[in-house]
């Protein structure tokens, strides 16, 4: 570890509540209610050395308004900036949506565990995302595509209510062009000009019927989608240990202190947010 990394790490260890300042340098309107923010740390040394893993999250603060957790949707294989996607759902997200390029935000993190991608080398990867749930999957997906030879086939099933609710559309062609990589899109209801599948994500998963052999499935989306995706994966023959998801609800402090994020005996912020289905299957049905 370099002295700069050590300094950054020591700083976070000493005071994990202290935000690092970052400037929003790009805002992408993904959908009518979701924007992706790209931010660069104001301190050039932090900017250069800040690193994180796919699946980790951060706390983003808008000064004078508040702070909330957002997954890192960018990948450390593309350094220099970080990205997070925000769906408009309340006062803090409204404030974030009101920012313009050049605004300064506070960043704490990275926090939490990450997808065990090193254990998945040589395996097929099956991504199953719904709506804004594609945000954490995008971090892992782009990480794996940047290390494409480490993995076998990559299939992406991604759905949303309508075509206008799909995020990261500007990257679809890039994903499709990667070796042995397939993108399957679906929307809930028929609409003019749509050439992809029509139907809910769990149903489309059943129709596509991916084989479980040597495959890891990673899913994130609305709770109702996750519930049926997990059931259908089991029915297709996927073992609980082959299925991963990421949970982000109810987090506040991000560092295991406030007690807001517990599900059963687990704290999402420190034991997760990434869990295998085997880890969470028997927890109370609140996730």
The Cα-based distances of 175 to 148, 157, 282 in angstroms read 11, 12, 35
Q: State the burial class of residue 149 (Cβ atoms within 10 Å of its Cβ: 0-12, 13-18, 19+).
A: exposed
Pairing outcome for strands 124-130 and 154-160: parallel
Tell me the sheet residues that pair with 63.
Answer: none
Smaller CB distance to ligand FES: residue 31 or 93? 93
Neighbours of 94 (CB within 10 A): 13
Q: State the burial class of residue 29 (Cβ atoms within 10 Å of its Cβ: 0-12, 13-18, 19+).
A: exposed
Percent helix, strand, coil in the chain (nearest 5)?
A: 30, 30, 40
Least Å distance between CB 113 and ligand FES?
13
Smaller CB distance to ligand FES: residue 267 or 277? 267
Q: Is 57 in the site for ligand FES (CB under 6 A)?
A: no
Least Å distance between CB 250 and ligand FES?
7
Least Å distance between CB 111 and ligand FES?
9
Smaller CB distance to ligand FES: residue 161 or 260? 260
Site residues (CB under 6 A) for ligand FES, limited to 223-252: 251-252
Q: What's the length of the chain?
A: 287
The Cα-based distances of 132 to 32, 128, 185 in angstroms read 12, 12, 14
Least Å distance between CB 69 and ligand FES?
7
Q: Is 71 in the site for ligand FES (CB under 6 A)?
A: no
Task: Round to whole Å and give the CA distance between 248 and 85.
Answer: 13
Among residues 102, 122, 193, 259, the one that binds ligand FES under rule CB under 6 A:
259
Q: Is 16 in the site for ligand FES (CB under 6 A)?
A: no
Ramachandran angles phi, psi of 268, nearest 5° = -60, -35
Q: Is 257 in the site for ligand FES (CB under 6 A)?
A: yes
Q: Is 54 in the site for ligand FES (CB under 6 A)?
A: no
**Among the candidate windows 86-94, 134-142, 177-185, 258-266, which touches ligand FES by CB under 6 A?**
258-266
Q: Is 266 in the site for ligand FES (CB under 6 A)?
A: no
Least Å distance between CB 252 and ligand FES?
5
Q: Which residues bind ligand FES (CB under 6 A)?
A: 251-254, 256-261, 267, 269
């Amino acid at each position: 570890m370099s002295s700069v990394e050590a300094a950054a790490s020591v700083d976070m260890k000493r005071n994990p509540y202290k935000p690092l300042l970052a400037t929003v340098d790009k805002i992408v309107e993904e959908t009518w209610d979701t924007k992706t923010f790209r931010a660069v740390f104001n301190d050039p040394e932090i900017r250069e050395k800040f690193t994180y893993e796919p699946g980790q999250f951060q706390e983003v603060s808008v000064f004078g308004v508040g702070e909330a957790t957002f997954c890192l949707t960018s990948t450390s294989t593309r350094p220099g900036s970080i990205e997070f996607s925000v769906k408009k759902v309340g006062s803090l997200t409204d404030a974030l949506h009101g920012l313009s390029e050049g605004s300064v935000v506070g960043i704490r993190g990275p926090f939490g565990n990450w997808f065990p991608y090193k254990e998945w080398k040589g395996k097929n990867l099956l991504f199953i995302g719904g709506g804004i749930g594609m945000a954490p999957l995008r971090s892992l997906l782009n990480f794996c595509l940047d290390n494409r030879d480490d993995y076998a086939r990559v299939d992406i099933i991604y759905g949303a209510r309508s075509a206008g609710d799909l995020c990261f559309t500007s990257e679809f062609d890039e994903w499709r062009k990667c070796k042995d990589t397939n993108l399957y899109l679906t929307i809930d209801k028929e609409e003019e000009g749509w050439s992809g599948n029509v139907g809910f994500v769990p149903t489309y998963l059943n129709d596509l019927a991916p084989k479980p052999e040597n495959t890891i499935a990673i899913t994130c989306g609305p709770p109702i989608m996750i519930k049926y995706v997990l059931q259908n994966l089991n029915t297709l023959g996927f073992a609980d240990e082959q299925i991963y998801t990421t949970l982000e609800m109810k987090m506040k402090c991000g560092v295991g202190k406030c007690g807001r994020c517990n599900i059963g005996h687990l704290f999402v912020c420190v034991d997760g947010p990434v869990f295998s289905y085997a880890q969470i299957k028997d927890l109370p049905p609140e996730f």
